[in-house]
Chains A and B, each alone.
Chain A
Amino acid sequence: MTSTPFGQRVEIGDAADIVTARRAARELCERLGFGKADQTRLATAVSELARNVIQYAGTGHCLIEDGSDALNRRIQVVVEDQGPGIANLEQALTYGYSTSGGLGAGLPGTRRLVDDFQIESAPGLTRISIALNKPF
């Protein structure tokens, strides 16, 4: 895990890194003044995305950053991998769809937990950006 003035980068290589990544997200969330509900939402979202990296791409990383401005606190997280990509985005975002026998709740659930959700995926690069906002 490396820290910069703006945030942290967590490498995702095995299941233990899922815990590291979501802890880092929770900590920054708390430091920026988000409440416990938001901390848990973000930690859970990061857990889902990091777990997908392990399950479907093997390795990747996660960037956790303070994106606050004069009006809003904002925490943004980008989770990225160089894996095979998501074959069918629409299906992947449908509740209950899973290619691994999972609940298929990870991506649709994450989308519901956060304020901003963006996903781009092609063979060789999957990048999912999420953020929570809260006015000062």
Chain B
Amino acid sequence: MRIPILRLDRILLVSIQIDLSDNDAMEFQSDLVERVAEIEATGVAIDITALDVVDSYMARVINDTASMVRLLGAEVVICGVQPFVALTLIEMGRDLLGADCAFNLGQGLEILKQRIAERGDIRFTEDEND
């Protein structure tokens, strides 16, 4: 089961529709990491609107994916955590989902763009100081 990765300029969009098995998750992570590096993506939005259950395994898959993408230098936002999923995750343990979240893909993209813009400024001033 391959998860399609959509490209919008230098932002990548992925939508997780089903529970990923260990193998699916690894394939998905390496596909995404490769893609991020290939286009030097500035941001990645991971949409999980379709997940009506996020257990600790899926939480780890999502966290790990977000960390990998961040390590490469791109910003990440998780979009569309369902209200009852959020409730359950917090009841299970406070820090289960450790990434930044947005209500939906649209808002996620806004946040990414804003962050990327801010980051651009930082780099610009850093260059000036050199």
Q: In the complex, which residue of chain A has the Cβ closest to the Cβ of B55?
A: A47
The stretch from A77-85, A107-115, A116-124, A128-136 touching chain B is: A107-115
Is A92 at the interface (CB under 8 A from chain B)?
Answer: no
Q: Within 8 Å CB of B18, what residues of A?
A: 19
Interface residue range, chain A: 20 to 34
* A102–B53 alpha-carbon span in the complex (Å): 17
B29–chain A nearest beta-carbon distance, Å: 15
**CB-defined interface of A33-66 with B at 8 Å, one 1/0 digit per residue?**
0001101110110011001000000000000000
A113–chain B nearest beta-carbon distance, Å: 6
**Contact: A40 with B84, CB < 8 Å?**
yes
Supposing A22-B53, A47-B53, A103-B59 touch, asked if A40 and B87 sit within 8 A by C-beta, the answer is yes
**Contact: A15 with B93, CB < 8 Å?**
no
Partner of A108, one of B19, B22, B60, B93: B93
**Contact: A109 with B56, CB < 8 Å?**
yes
Q: In the complex, which residue of chain B has the Cβ closest to the Cβ of A96?
A: B93
Q: In the complex, which residue of chain B has the Cβ closest to the Cβ of A48?
A: B55
Is A18 at the interface (CB under 8 A from chain B)?
Answer: yes
Q: Within 8 Å CB of A113, what residues of B?
A: 88, 91-92
Q: In the complex, which residue of chain B has the Cβ closest to the Cβ of A38?
A: B84
**CB-defined interface of B77-118 with A at 8 Å, one 1/0 digit per residue?**
000001011011001110010000000000000000000000
**Contact: A43 with B53, CB < 8 Å?**
yes
Q: In the complex, which residue of chain B has the Cβ closest to the Cβ of A109?
A: B92
* A68–B57 alpha-carbon span in the complex (Å): 31
**Contact: A18 with B84, CB < 8 Å?**
no
**Contact: B92 with A19, CB < 8 Å?**
no
A37–chain B nearest beta-carbon distance, Å: 6
**Chain B positions near chain A (C-beta within 8 angstroms):** 18-19, 21-22, 52-57, 59-60, 82, 84-85, 87-88, 91-93, 96
**Chain A positions near chain B (C-beta within 8 angstroms):** 15, 18-19, 22, 26, 36-37, 39-41, 43-44, 47-48, 51, 95, 102-106, 108-110, 112-113
A-B contact pairs, 8 of them (CB 8 A): A26-B52, A37-B88, A43-B53, A44-B54, A44-B92, A112-B92, A112-B93, A113-B88
